[in-house]
Amino acid sequence: DGGITQSPKYLFRKEGQNVTLSCEQNLNHDAMYWYRQDPGQGLRLIYYSQIVNDFQKGDIAEGYSVSREKKESFPLTVTSAQKNPTAFYLCASVDSPNTEAFFGQGTRLTVV
């Protein structure tokens, strides 16, 4: 089955540590996105990539980094520079020009 997979589902991080969230898709989509969702709030764009080896900052990129070495993979690293990383993170891919976004099941990151 085609889809988009995020792992892990839950992640705990100590203050000062970097952590990497995985996002893999087998839909052959060119574009991939990372969103952050805080309780009771909407989705805010962190980074997006429209093609391999290229990515752009979204609205809240500070404290995050990404890479896009393969079409299927778009990992997100939450660095120690991110002051308030506790949140729900969603990865999505888009089949341009159809533009319907497919989402992973999310990763809940908690700083302990």
Partner 1 sequence: AQTVTQSQPEMSVQEAETVTLSCTYDTSESDYYLFWYKQPPSRQMILVIRQEAYKQQNATENRFSVNFQKAAKSFSLKISDSQLGDAAMYFCAYWGNAGNMLTFGGGTRLMVKP
Q: Binders of partner 1 among 12-51, rule CB under 8 A? A: 31, 33, 35, 40-45, 48, 50
CB of 11 to partner 1, least distance (A): 15
Count Cα atoms within 13 angstroms, Cβ side, for 61. 11
Exactly one of 52, 71, 88, 95 binds partner 1 (CB under 8 A); that residue is 88
Can you give the C-alpha Rg of the chain in angstroms?
13
**Cα separations (Å) of 57 from 15, 49, 60, 79, 98?**
24, 9, 8, 15, 23
Contacting residues toward partner 1, per CB under 8 A: 31, 33, 35, 40-45, 48, 50, 58, 88, 90, 92, 94, 96, 99-101, 103, 105-106
